[in-house]
């Protein structure tokens, strides 16, 4: 069993796969409800990194360079059809680096990369480090910056001891990440941001356009850093429609392309 990838039941014959990469400290549960809002043509596959949810007792990675080879090894068994990546915050950078690693290996790459609430990877990290802060300060800083820690985690010492090592490792991964020089991806990129997100600006999202040879779209939506979790968010439906359109256009262009030598 591949513990890294959890594919939704009921869409095994879908022609498209969409891999979902969660934010720091998050796992498959971050996308609860998405499967019911995605078209029947798309099978959702959740990327479950060590140290969270079903893999809570495993050691989390704190380095992007160490994580990516293991992750791509796991992805290799699931890229037997057209696929795309969606990543939120840290998950966007992980998805980007996974796409680069697939290219490095000569393997098929994603048809499209969807990223949300994440600075373009080539930009320097704009905040002072917090991964080494003592627990109370660390929690306060994460809460002030992102507002994402449930109250029960803050108040329950046992729960904190279970969940904080992974969150701290993920924050370390963010703070120590440096994008190595490389050619832009062949696939297009769609970037999403929250209009009330004070941690990721429109400008920093717009810099993602430098990472693709293909089409680039930037969409700003109502909400803060976690705008996809708002009840009124239509992000899953938006991504579904855009992905189906993109793949349909690509297939049409390939069909119309003249054969070499003709």
Q: Among this protein's residues, is 62 annotated catalytic?
A: no
- pTM value is 0.93
Question: In a 10 Å sphere around its CB, with 0-12 CB exposed, 13-18 middle and 19+ buried, how is residue 146 labelled?
Answer: buried
Looking at residue 246, its pLDDT comes to: 87
End-to-end CA distance of the chain: 47
**What integer pLDDT is reported at residue 259 of this predicted model?**
52
Q: Output the tens digit of pLDDT for each of the chain's 262 residues.
A: 569 999 987 788 899 999 999 999 999 999 999 999 998 899 999 999 999 999 999 999 999 999 999 999 999 999 999 999 999 999 999 999 999 999 999 999 999 999 999 999 999 998 999 999 999 899 889 988 887 677 777 778 888 888 899 999 999 999 999 999 999 999 999 999 999 999 999 999 999 999 999 999 999 999 999 998 886 789 999 999 999 998 887 665 665 555 544 3
CATH architecture under which domain 5-126+179-254 falls? 3-Layer(aba) Sandwich (3.40)
Catalytic residue among 3, 62, 63, 89: 89
């Amino acid at each position: 069993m591949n513990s890294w990838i959890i594919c939704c039941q009921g869409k095994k014959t879908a022609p498209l796969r969409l891999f979902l990469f969660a934010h720091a400290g998050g796992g498959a549960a971050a996308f609860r409800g998405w499967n019911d809002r995605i078209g029947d043509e798309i099978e959702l596959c959740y990327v479950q990194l060590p140290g969270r949810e079903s893999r809570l007792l495993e050691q989390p990675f704190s380095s992007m360079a160490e994580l990516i080879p293991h992750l791509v090894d796991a992805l290799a068994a699931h890229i037997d059809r057209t696929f795309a990546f969606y990543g939120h915050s840290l998950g966007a950078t992980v998805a980007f680096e996974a796409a680069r690693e697939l290219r490095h290996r000569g393997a098929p790459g994603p048809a499209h990369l969807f990223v949300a609430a994440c600075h373009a990877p080539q930009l320097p990290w704009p905040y002072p480090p917090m991964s080494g802060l003592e627990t109370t300060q660390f929690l306060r800083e994460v809460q002030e910056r992102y507002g994402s820690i449930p109250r029960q985690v803050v108040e329950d010492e046992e729960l904190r001891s279970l969940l904080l090592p992974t969150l701290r490792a993920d924050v370390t991964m963010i703070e120590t990440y440096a994008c190595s020089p490389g050619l832009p991806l062949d696939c297009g990129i769609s970037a999403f941001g929250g209009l009330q997100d004070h941690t990721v600006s429109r400008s920093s999202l717009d810099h993602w356009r430098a990472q693709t040879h293909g089409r680039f779209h930037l969409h700003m939506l109502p909400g803060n850093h976690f705008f996809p979790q708002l009840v009124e968010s239509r992000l899953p439906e938006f991504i579904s429609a855009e992905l189906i359109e993109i793949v349909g256009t690509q297939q049409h262009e390939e069909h119309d392309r003249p054969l070499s030598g003709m």
